Structure 1
Amino acid sequence: MNKRKKKSALGTFAVLGFLVYFAYTMVTQQSMINAKNKELASLQQKINSVKSENDELRKKKEMLDTDEYYEKVAREKLGMVKPGEKVFFDINK
């Protein structure tokens, strides 16, 4: 009977050791998964930011080839006016 108790204790110890190892592995894997999920969320946010910036730049690029853009630049940067147009300056600014 002494041998059975030793085998039973050894088996119980082996099962207990396996359960502890399994629990440790599960906890470390879950922490790694959580870290990767945070990284994924951060990268998704960066992707969305870059996509919106890309859309804005695409719109600006399309606007550069329009007559309205050339007129805006001529008026604001070069101070040009259309023939017969009167320009008023706000002296309070």
Structure 2
Amino acid sequence: MGNSKKRKKKKKVGYNSLGMIAIALVVLVLLGGLMLESNDLKERLTGYDAKAATLQQQIEDEQTRTEEIDKLKKYMETDEYAEEVAREKLGLVKDNETVFKKQQ
């Protein structure tokens, strides 16, 4: 009778260690999968960071361009601009100015 109790205990211990090994393998496989996914996410994050930096630079460039356009708009509303256009494009001169032309 004493032998049969020992055999039952040994069988239970054998099944328990086999189950523990199986669980450990499953956990290792899951950890490996998580590590691979983590690396993929890091690569994506790096790509997104680079894209965000590029977009931020574009925003800054467009803001600078907007400021330049606003300055030009204000300048175009002045009398100085109107006079400049009249001189260059229309060939107009002020009453007290003398115009010298090259002979061809």
Q: TM-score range by the shorter chain?
A: 0.7 to 0.9
Residue identity matched to 1:27? N
Residue identity matched to 2:60? N
Q: 1:75 aligns with which of 87, 90, 93?
A: 87
Aligned residues: 91
Q: Look at both structures and tell me which one has the larger radius of gyration over its CA atoms.
A: 2
Identity %: 31
**Which moves more between the two structures, 68-77 or 5-14?**
5-14
Matched, 1:12 2:24: yes
Higher RCO, 1 vs 2 (CA within 8 Å, ≥6 residues apart): 1
Gaps of 5+ in 1: none
Closer/same/farther in 2, CA of residues 39 and 89 from structure 1, 3 Å limit: farther
Q: How far apart are the structure 2 equivalents of 1:25 and 1:38?
A: 20
Closer/same/farther in 2, CA of residues 13 and 89 from structure 1, 3 Å limit: farther
* Within-5 A mapping of 1:14-33: 14-33=26-45
TM-score by length of 1: 0.84
Gaps of 5+ in 2: 1-12
- Aligned-pair RMSD on alpha carbons? 1.8
What residue is the counterpart of 2:55 in the other structure?
43
Q: Which segments of structure 1 move beyond 2 Å, counting only runs of 4 or more?
A: 86-91
Q: How far apart are the structure 2 equivalents of 1:45 and 1:89?
A: 49
Closer/same/farther in 2, CA of residues 72 and 2 from structure 1, 3 Å limit: same
Secondary structure class of the residue paired with 1:83: coil
Closer/same/farther in 2, CA of residues 44 and 78 from structure 1, 3 Å limit: same
Residue identity matched to 1:77? K
Residue identity matched to 1:9? I
Closer/same/farther in 2, CA of residues 34 and 72 from structure 1, 3 Å limit: same
